[in-house]
Amino acid sequence: MKKRSIENIDVKGKRVFVRVDFNVPLTDAREITDDTRIKTALPTLRLLMENGAKIVCASHLGRPEGKKKNDLTLKPVAQRLAKLLGREVQFPGEIIGKEIDAAKARLKEGEILLLQNLRFHPGETTNDPDFARELAKDIDIYVNDAFAASHRAHASIQAITQFVPLSVAGFLLNKEVEALSMALENPPKNYTVILGGAKVSDKLPLIQNLMQKARKILIGGAMAYSFLKAKGANVGRSEVEENVIPLCKEIIEKAAKKEIKLLLPVDHIASYAIEPEVTIRMIKRGEEIPDEMMGLDIGFETIQLYTQELKDAQLIVWNGPLGVFELETFSAGTIEIARAVASGSAITIVGGGDTTAAINKAGVADHFTHLSTGGGAALEFLAGLKLPGIEALPEE
């Protein structure tokens, strides 16, 4: 399902609209704390610059909810992009209108213009055709390189494709689609999934789809406690979503029927509070988590067990940290499993912002095959859902 790529298209002298995801984390003083998302868009932008396109670049930032919010201006992003590209990035501070029309008309080959935060306009999130038509004005080619936003039917992602002569995928988008499609469409036999993180309800469609192909599912994180409770265990004050417990039961039964090995933690690191300096207790196999405590990381026996189970994997898909990795006290499970995954020979695919952060923290990111830049988008893709932004592009 590879999409037609920008790579083999003549862009010289063409006005090209590139939708990127520059939704970077900012401090209160509007300083960018992590510019990974800008860097991942550079290959597409450089190709366009070198081949003489006139580039109109656009992104959203945060959730301004259709209103102009000064703290969510893309200006710091324009400055960082200019620095990374080593050339000027025009930033008129508007999205559509006369000033932008004029700036588009003035663009010379190889020049780049960044529009203001798309979500300052209410038409972006409502997929408004009139707004999309304005974005598409005088544009010859539309490029979607914003995988992380492609699960949204927004004007710059979906509606715009109806108003441009040609729509194609950027490098990043195609790289994501290729890597994730492999896991979705023809995974090898020894396919192991690691699931953790916070919200089970968000991830249930993913689990159900993974059960069609995976052979082993290793569960940790807060998610584990809804499953453990479904099996009748006492989990104290661990984070449990009561309303998903019946579904957890179903998943456990279905796994047994399909001979999928679904593993839950056998021991835990527990505590009274999610704080850096707290008293912790190891809850060993067979022991119960006391009523006033919560499970905040997988225990040492679980680490060993999961490490062992990962050894024969040919493909590992991982979403969700196995404990509260942000605090050192509860990070060992996630860090050790990250090392175990990294040291094997399996193809390794990671989805999820926090999981990627944890793998970076473990210092093993280079050993992974693919760290997806899309949190929600990657999960929806792996759950087998169709993403509006990808559906809107023609196939190769």
DSSP 32: B
Among residues 37, 104, 152, 175, the one annotated as catalytic is 37
Q: Which two tokens stand for residue 156?
A: 């710059």
CA separation for the pair 134, 279 (Å, rounded): 58
By CB under 5 A, tell whether 239 contacts Mg ion: no
By CB under 6 A, tell whether 221 contacts ligand ADP: yes
Q: Which is nearer to ligand ADP, 64 or 220 (CB)?
A: 220
37 is an active site residue? yes
Q: What is the DSSP string of 177-224?
A: HHHHHHHHHS--SSEEEEE-SS-HHHHHHHHHHHTTT-SEEEE-TTHH
Q: Binding ligand ADP by CB under 6 A: which of 199, 237, 281, 339? A: 199
Task: Evaluate whether 315 touches 179 at the Cβ level (below 8 Å).
Answer: no
By CB under 6 A, tell whether 323 contacts ligand ADP: yes
> Contact region for Mg ion (CB under 5 A) — 89-97, 146-154, 231-239, 347-355?
347-355
> Contact region for Mg ion (CB under 5 A) — 138-146, 159-167, 354-362, 381-389?
354-362
Residues 6+ apart with CB under 8 A from 212: none
Tokens 């994180």 found at:
221
Residues 6+ apart with CB under 8 A from 353: 375
Q: Binding Mg ion by CB under 5 A: which of 96, 354, 380, 381? A: 354
- What is the closest distance, in whole angstroms, from the C-beta atom of residue 31 to ligand ADP in the complex? 23
> Contact region for ligand ADP (CB under 6 A) — 147-155, 159-167, 285-293, 320-328?
320-328
376 is an active site residue? yes
Q: Which two tokens stand for residue 385?
A: 């859902």
Strand partners, 316: 192, 348
Among residues 199, 249, 254, 339, the one annotated as catalytic is 199
Sign of CA pseudo-dihedral 192, 194, 200, 203? negative
**Residues from 326 through 385 that contact ligand ADP (CB under 6 A):** 326, 352-355, 375
Would you tell me which residues interact with Mg ion (CB under 5 A)?
353-354
Q: List residues binding ligand ADP (CB under 6 A).
A: 196-199, 221-222, 239, 295-296, 319-321, 323-324, 326, 352-355, 375
- So which residues are the catalytic ones? 37, 199, 353, 376
